[in-house]
Structure formats: C-alpha cells, structure tokens
Amino acid sequence: MFGFGLKDIGIDLGTANTLVYIKGKGIVLREPSVVVKNKKTGDIVAVGSQAKNMMGRTANSIIAIRPMRDGVIADYDTTLTMIKHYLVEASKAVGSKWKSGTVMICVPYGITSVERRAVLNAARGAGAGEAFTIEEPFAAAIGADLPVWEPMGSMVVDIGGGTTEVAVISLGGIVSSESIRVAGDSLDMEITQYIRKTYNVLIGERTAEALKLGIGSARIMEPSERGITMEIRGRDLLTGFPKTLEITSEEIAEAFSESVAAIVAGVKATLEQTPPELSADVMENGIVLTGGGALLKNLDRVISAETSMPVFIADNPLDCVALGTGKALENMDQFRRQLSIK
C-alpha cells in the first residue's frame, strides 16, 4: 500500500482537525478534517486545508464533507481516504517513507466497540501493520504533562471539535469520566442558530467560526469586554439578498450559554463520581483545560467559579492530545496496558 520507512505514527483524528505525530519527529502535520467529493463520481476533489477553503463555496456537483462527527467516524470510506492522504502528506513533510508499522489513533472515552473497531479498521485499511486506540482525555493529560502515573488525582477537560472529554486520572487509569457531545462545533451551531432566530439571517460555518474566534466569550466577566463588535455578512431569509450585520460580544456569549452550561455540568458530574481522596488532589492541583475549546475566552474563569477550584489552560492546548499520543508511542511498553489492542 505505502512504502514508508517511518514505522510509528500517532493520529489525533479529530472532528475539526487532524494532527499527525511521527515518532522521533514530533507533530509534522495539522489539517482540517474536511474532504470535498464529486457527488456524481464519488471522486475526491480536495482534502484538508484546500477542502476547508471550499466549504460553502462549492458547485452543485461537489460537496464538502466532514467525515468525523462527535469524535467518531460518520463516513467510513471518506475517513479512510482522508487518513491515507494525511499519512502520505506526513511522510512528505519529513522526507521519508513508511513501512507498514504502528498507528495509534485517539478516540473519545466511552465510544462503543463498533465505533472503536471502525477506527482500527480504517487505520489498517490505510496500511497500518498494528493499530491501537488511546482515549483522548488520557492522551490529553499525558500531553499536558500531568502526573498520570502517580497515586494522585489529575483532572483534564479536553474540548475538541465534536466532544468534550472530562476525566480524573490516577495511577495510569481513568477513574471517572464524562464524554459530552458538546464542543467547538456546538458553539458554531449556536451562533448560526442565534443569528437566524434574532436577525432572520443565514450565515455559513466559516462565518460562525470567525465570530467565535473573533469576539467569542464563555461569559462577559469585565466591563471592558462589553460592546466589542464584529461585522459579518449573510443571506436575508426574507429577501434572499446579502445583508450586513454588526454582532456584539454580549450576543455571542448569550448564544454560547447552553453549550457552556453543558460543559460545566460535565465537569461537575465527573467530580461527583470521583473518590474523596482524589477530589482533594484536584482541589489542590486544579483542573487543566486542553483542546481548541480551552482557548475560548473566560471559559477557565467560568469553570473555576462554578466548581470553586483553580482552573488552568495547558501549554499548547491544541497539541496536547497529539503530543500525548506521541509520548505513548515513545514508551509503548509502559503504555501497552492502557491501549485497546484489537
């Protein structure tokens, strides 16, 4: 299939983005998890960044697909093609080739055996000799340099594109966890729905994401955060014509209220399941946020206020899961018991 000389590859196969880690090289590729296909022929037109740039701008004959939904495979064949593409691109990035070796892929905690098998089969279909999965919150905690092997409680909240993974980890295992299908995509969707309901204007995914990144906030905490505006364009559903709107930071915070409440509820539910001794550790050491959602303004402060615990944003939160996967690859003997080998 492939002729790579590189043998061990870790993949953070996310709903929004895919990162590829090569043992000994680090993270060598990060691309949007998007594929553009010809609807008539089924041929792949574009993958990754090129495909994302085409979202919302495709002709009737082609369609932009995000084959991962809520952290799991929604379109198997397209996901397989996407994985193959990223493995080829990763090999080009380091100027090497890969023999059929080990591929480790991150999955949400608590996925079904069928969903896990689909991920492993996709890895093998892409040329892996050996395929493993590792739970995202465990990988995120490793990538955030939490003491997961020590007899103490470490709490991580990994907010990706499709899921938010909350876990308390001790002695190399997940003690309590919640997987919430609310994350970055939900925030984009809430913006789209808010603007449609409030202004009767339809906007695309790219515009919603731009609002989230530009003026998004989990909650308005300071007077200086009020009145920040951003101009966007959408289609007026009454006239059918383009329309320009000026959206405020307060409106985006209001739109986010349900998703933020769901994330906070997941954190509280995990804490309620945690043994008292480990809860005391979390109280002392704090909660660590990873994933792209960790960068949402004031989310750390909201969770801290709701739980009365210190909350920190990890260094390089976008890379924690991929880096944790890489550390697992670097120490396969140590991590083998924690991996699901199929």
Helix (H, G, I), strand (E, B) or coil at 33: coil
Query: 210: annotated binding-site residue?
Result: yes
Instruction: Give Cα 288 distance to the centre of its chain.
Output: 16
Query: 102: annotated binding-site residue?
Result: no
Q: Please give the Cα distance from 35 to 37 (Å, whole number).
A: 6
Please count the CA atoms within 13 angstroms of the CA of 262 that sit on its side-chain side.
17
* 64 touches 36 (CB < 8 A): yes
Query: 163: annotated binding-site residue?
Result: yes
Query: 128: annotated binding-site residue?
Result: no
Beta bridge mates, 229: 248
Helix (H, G, I), strand (E, B) or coil at 174: strand
One DSSP character per residue, 44-62 reads EEEETHHHHHHTT---TTE
DSSP label at residue 87: H
* 66 touches 205 (CB < 8 A): no
Query: 295: annotated binding-site residue?
Result: yes
Query: 15: annotated binding-site residue?
Result: yes
Helix (H, G, I), strand (E, B) or coil at 203: coil
Closest CA to 319 of 290, 285, 286, 277: 290
Query: 17: annotated binding-site residue?
Result: yes
Query: 231: annotated binding-site residue?
Result: no
Strand 229-236: give its sheet, edge to edge. 201-202, 229-236, 242-248
Query: 209: annotated binding-site residue?
Result: yes
Helix (H, G, I), strand (E, B) or coil at 195: helix
Q: Please give the Cα distance from 91 to 76 (Å, whole number).
A: 23
Q: Please give the Cα distance from 316 to 338 (Å, whole number).
A: 24
Q: Please give the Cα distance from 201 to 218 (Å, whole number).
A: 23
Query: 161: annotated binding-site residue?
Result: yes
Annotated binding-site positions for ATP: 15-17, 161-163, 209-212, 292-295
Known binding site: residues? 15-17, 161-163, 209-212, 292-295
